[in-house]
Structures are given as structure tokens and as C-alpha cells.
Amino acid sequence: MKKTLIIAEAGVNHNGNIKLAKKLIDAAATAGVDYVKFQTFNSKKLVSKNAQKASYQKKNTNNKIESQLQMLQKLELSKESHFELIKYCEFKNIKFLSTGFDLESINFLNDLNIDLFKVPSGEITNLPYLRLVGRLNKPVIISTGMADMKEIEAALDVILKSGTETTNVTILHCNTEYPTPMKDVNLKAMLSIKDRFKVNIGYSDHTLGIEIPIAAVALGATVIEKHFTLDKTMEGPDHKSSLDPNELKDMVVAIRNIESALGNGIKTPSESESKNKVLARKSIVANKDIKKGVVFTNENLTIKRPGNGISPMLWDEYIGKKATKDYIEDELI
């Protein structure tokens, strides 16, 4: 079975500190994920100076009076930091990934030879952005938080017409609320996306805990993305809705178990259970002592374990036949 691609979203949980970013890479590598993902942006090109913080951002930054721009400026990674983090990821044997939030950042990441591009939910209606990503003709993962089917279709159309092959596109179902209430997850929408657009599907999760990503894999997700942090009590927009390192590790283990458990879809006795067949199934046995020549009846035959004799499915064929030997009670017929 094809392995699920697991992306550990460090995002801005490094709080603008390169040492903290490296510790996040350590935790992601220990957990066994495929990619650790950061965010690449120029704050002044991402938001206007008048843009306010989202309600969850206000809450998670202790209602600090500041604009979204002021908050994000403290969370930027410098270009030099990118080089350092990529080198560190190579050392830790984990793949580096980052989401670009503006055209300059996309071009910068392409120059860094990033092997796939992630379109965040907020850019799904950004035509110039989508067009540039599509022209790169690299694997593209599209998050669809806040989007409806028409918006997903429009974004996909731009990506494909710009030069990216359909086989290179994965669409992630997503809900952009931090944390996402369980009643709003709507995980079946992921299957609707697959049915409608005939592309690879996945899930970008913002719920608390790990059960929803695990369920997504059971439903056929090929990519899972999940925020993580070193400490949920840190001040910052995403820490509280992120996994801690142990939870991240647990999620990876659970996903790999689910992958193994899904199997090949062919219903047949497994190697491990075959030895139990004779113990758990039953056979036709003598219900009492039976003399040779006596006719088998519903009264002198019964069905008991073990299952190494005549199958009870042949019961009707033996009722009315004569015993060809003497039987004692509980003896296999």
C-alpha cells in the first residue's frame, strides 16, 4: 500500500527564533514524519497595515493590542534562516518544506529547489499566485479551508491550465478554525472532493487531538498535515491548537498502523488467524454412544468444537445415514 505523506506543520511556532525552529525539526524527525513545514512570507506583502488579527489569534496572543502585520513581522523567517534550516533538515534526515504566501516567496522557494508546493487555504482565490505555482509544474498540495466546490474547481482549473499535471495535484480537505469544532470537521467532504475532481486527496487538520487525521487515513487520505509545537502554553497564534511532540509521535504510529491494517481488500483467512480455525470452529460429533448400524438423527448427533472433523454445513447429508462403526459420546463422526 502507498505510504501516507505526513507533514508536520511547524508553521510559525518557532516564534521567530532559529534555535526553536531547529528544536521543532528535531521533534518532527523523532516522530518519523516525512516533511517538516514552515511558512515563508514578507509580512508587508502579505497583509495591509490595517488588517486585524483573527479572533483565535487575539485569544492565543493574550489579546495583545497589535495588528496582524505587527504580529507576523515577529514571526518571519529570514532568507538566511531558510538556508540554515534546510541544511539542518538534511542533517536530521527529514525533508524541508515551506508554504509561500506571496509571489516573491514562491519564487524564492523555487530557487531553493523545494520539491513540492503547498497552497494555503487563504490563497485559493489568489489568481496570480495560483498561476505562478501552476507554471512551476511541480507537485502541488492545495488546502481548501473556507472554500466551496466552485472555488476549489476554479483554483484547480488555474493550476492545471498553467501547466501542472493532474497527477501532480493533491487537494486537502480543511477547516480554517483553530481549533476546529468536531461538528464542523465534515470529513466526508474529502471523499466528495475525490469523487468530483478525480485527484489525490488528503486532510489538513486543525482539531485538537489525533483521531481525525487517523480517520482521514482510513477513508483514503494520501496526505496528512498537522500543526505541532514544543509547548502549547507558548504565546503565539497556533501553539494551543497544535500537537506536542509526544502526540505527534503517537499520530504517526497510529497512521502507519492504519496503513498496515487497511490491507489489500481481499477477504481471506490471514496467516495469523489460520491456526485458530480448528479451535474456534465446530464439527459433527456423537451426542451419545452410537452403535454400528444405528441411523444418525437430530438426537444422537450434535455440534461441538474442535473443527477438525466433518463441517456442520454437511449436517443434512449425515442425518438419516447409518453409522459404519461404534461411536462414544463426543467422538468426531
Output the domain CATH number for residue 148.
3.20.20.70
Residue 64 has pLDDT above 70, yes or no: no
- Which residue's C-alpha cell is 516533511? 35
Same-domain status, 279 and 165: no
On average, the pLDDT of the chain sits at: 94
Same-domain status, 36 and 58: yes
Q: Which of 226, 245, 262 is the last residue of a domain?
A: 262
Kindly report which listed range (46-60, 128-142, 186-200, 224-238) carries the lowest average pLDDT score: 46-60
The per-residue pLDDT for range 10-33, each reduced to its tens digit, is: 999 999 999 999 999 999 999 999
The per-residue pLDDT for range 50-63, each reduced to its tens digit, is: 777 677 666 667 66
The per-residue pLDDT for range 129-163, each reduced to its tens digit, is: 999 999 999 999 999 999 999 999 999 999 999 99
Same-domain status, 288 and 165: no
Same-domain status, 37 and 120: yes
Same-domain status, 182 and 297: no
**pLDDT at res. 63:** 61
Instruction: Work out the pLDDT band at 297, boundaries 50, 70, 90.
Output: very high
Q: Which residues contact 27 (CB under 8 A, 6 or more apart)?
A: 8, 228, 230, 245, 248
**Domain total in the chain:** 2
Strands 283-286 and 301-304: antiparallel
Same-domain status, 124 and 178: yes
Grid cell at residue 200: 489525490
CATH classification at residue 291: 3.90.1210.10
Distance between CA 272 and CA 268 in Å, rounded? Answer: 12
Mean local confidence (pLDDT), 34-57: 84
Could you count the other beta carbons within 10 Å of the beta carbon of residue 271?
6
Burial letters 158-196, b for 16+ CB under 10 A, else e: bbbebebeeebbbbbbbbbbbbbeeeebebebbeebbee
Same-domain status, 126 and 209: yes
**Domain membership flag for residue 277:** yes
**pLDDT at res. 209:** 96
**pLDDT at res. 38:** 98
Mean local confidence (pLDDT), 192-206: 98
Same-domain status, 149 and 57: yes
The per-residue pLDDT for range 313-324, each reduced to its tens digit, is: 999 999 999 999
**pLDDT at res. 62:** 61
